[in-house]
Amino acid sequence: MEVFVARQPIFDRAREVYGYELLFRPDDSTNACDGPQSSELTTQVIANALLSIGLDNIVCGKKAFLNFNNELLAGGAYSMLPKESTVLEILETVEPTEQLFNLCRGLKQQGYTFALDDYVGDSRMEPLTEIAQLIKIDIQITSREAQEKMLRTYRPRGIAVLAEKVETPEEYEWAKRAGYDYFQGYFFARPAVMRGSQIPAGKVNCLRLLREMQYPDLNFAEITKIVSEDVALSYKLLRYANSALFAGCGEMRSIPQALARLGEDVLRHWAALAALPLMAKDKPGELVTHSLVRARFCERLMQLASAQSHGLGFLMGLFSLLDALIDVPLEEALQKAGITGPIRDVLVGTAEADEPLHHIYALVRQYEATDWKGVSEAAAKLGIKTAAISEAYAESTLWAQQALHATVRKGNSRKRTRYPAEGSLQILLEDAMGREKVLRGRLLNVSVNGLQIELEDRIPLHAAVACNSPKHGISGRGSVRYCNPRKGKFLVGLEFGNGTGWREPA
């Protein structure tokens, strides 16, 4: 069965991410979650997509908001979800029956959290306000007078109130003054127009670095100049080049050496990870996460479509939120950054209809908007199986979180020395969907706790692996710690929690 899952962030008053609403539909033609059939299929989506992919891989330790109707509640679909991190969002279309009220009261006593979606103060739904810990109000269809009345009514009762569909910074500021506790919408990606505003020098340097990443052949001399002129970028580069990802290659003390060590593919990713947080210091943290997820998602879809220059997909996704990062309209932001060619044409809407990047970007926007019919149509044009799209999205969210939280250890923190090794090594890979695949690669080095191998294929981070090679003295189960492109192949680090079975030389 094809599975569709996307997420939309929910912010608190400090603009920190409180949780994500998970948006899903049973197929590409159904645009609602009501009715017995769609309820049954939605239960399968929860089981197959959320539990198989891993709920925390999607929401990254935050609250997960999921829509529930009468059938889903009565059917017990909530029992598959961890109650400490899940918010059951009761749809406005539910039938307010005594049976529903009693069921929700019982679940609240068990520790479940409830939210009321699109609440308008309907007296028939009032008993649910005694159960819900959070009320969501659509500020686009509810008058400000009615909003203020509900805020005065429910917040004193200890019920948090969330503003839905906050579209602009002005709406966000009003909602915050009115007393809302949480906010949901695209306000963080819809900057106010500030024509002629001065871009801080630090952001200009980051823009210069990102601009260089758009060219097929990187100009290492120019990149060296840009990084060398910025203390923050220089520090980030040397720290990264001397991290555990490149253990055994010797310490890097100069910018040119460090850039050469990374190589073109890895350098493009590093530039995004280094520049984005510096550009978004005064922005919600989710903006950086969203930029990286979208960039990685575009790149993965380019790979699935077998399109050339998939690195352009990464940069296109990254630049698509440039207006929000530097507070100028997108076309002007792209001009300031010196972004030209197909990336600019796609983002400003002037690309040719047969441009692959155009279809990739359309697919990404449709996926984020939960337009599943549009997703299927775009996927067909690109020759991508729709079942692979959700897996690519989940992998992209996980990649972004791991990249931002610097999950790799520093070079001097490895507890065990790795020793050079040679020969072919076979591993058994199990992906996030539970599928197994046998891969063979070139063993590079090994230690008591892990090994490094060169593979032809990219493999997902944290995927489970197993290996049994008496020839090398390696046997055990582990996981993928990193997977970096290198000279047309992939350098992969595997970590074995209970050891590789290999013994250090005496």
Give the DSSP H or E segment for 378: helix 372-382
Tokens of 325: 């990062």
Structural domains of the chain sorted by starting position, each given as residue range(s) with its CATH number in brackets = 5-189 (3.20.20.450), 201-404 (1.10.3210.10), 415-495 (2.40.10.220)
What residues form DSSP beta bridges with 164? Answer: 138
pLDDT single digits (tens) 139-182: 999 999 999 999 999 999 999 999 999 988 889 999 999 999 99
Confidence band for 28, pLDDT divided at 50, 70 and 90: very low
Q: Which range has the top average pLDDT, 33-37, 40-44, 87-91, 135-139?
A: 135-139
pLDDT digits (tens, 9 = 90+) for 470-489: 888 898 888 887 787 777 78
Alpha carbon 489 to its chain centroid, in Å, reads 24
3-state secondary structure of 76: coil
Task: Specify the amino acid at residue 475.
Answer: S
Average pLDDT value for the chain: 80
pLDDT for residue 121 is more than 80? yes
Only one residue has tokens 């509900």, namely 150
Residue 439, SS3 per DSSP: strand
Model confidence at 460, pLDDT cuts 50, 70, 90, reads confident
| Cα dihedral 289, 295, 296, 300 in deg (nearest 10) | 150
Are the C-beta atoms of residues 473 and 501 closer than 8 Å to each other?
yes
pLDDT band for position 71 (cuts 50, 70, 90): confident
Considering only CA atoms, which of 402, 500, 395 is closest in space to residue 458?
A: 395
CA distance 303 to 185: 30
What does each C-alpha distance from 222 to 273, 322, 371 come to in angstroms?
Answer: 19, 22, 42
pLDDT at 499: 81
pLDDT tens-digit map of 198-246: 566 677 888 888 888 878 788 889 999 988 888 888 888 887 777 656 6
Please report how the helices 386-404 and 372-382 are oriented relative to each other, as an axis angle in degrees rounded to 10: 100
Termini Cα distance of the chain: 54
State the Cα angle at 158 between 153 and 161, rounded to 5°. Answer: 65
- For 6-20, the pLDDT digits (tens) are 788 898 988 888 888
Residue with tokens 């959290």: 113
pLDDT band at 50 (very low <50, low <70, confident <90, very high): low
Query: What is the pLDDT at residue 286?
Result: 77
Going by C-alpha positions, the residue among 456, 453, 463, 457 that lies closest to residue 395 is: 463
pLDDT tens digits for 398-452? 778 767 654 334 333 444 566 888 889 999 887 545 567 889 999 998 888 889 9
406 vs 302, higher pLDDT: 302
pLDDT tens for each residue of 327-376? 777 888 888 778 888 889 999 889 888 888 999 999 998 888 778 888 88
| Long-range contacts of the stretch 244-253 (C-beta < 8 A, 24+) | 244/408, 244/409, 244/410, 244/411, 244/413, 244/414, 244/493, 245/408, 245/482, 245/484, 245/493, 246/411, 247/411, 247/414, 247/418, 248/418, 248/420, 248/445, 251/411
By DSSP bridging, strand 182-185 and strand 160-166 are parallel
Give the pLDDT of residue 301.
92
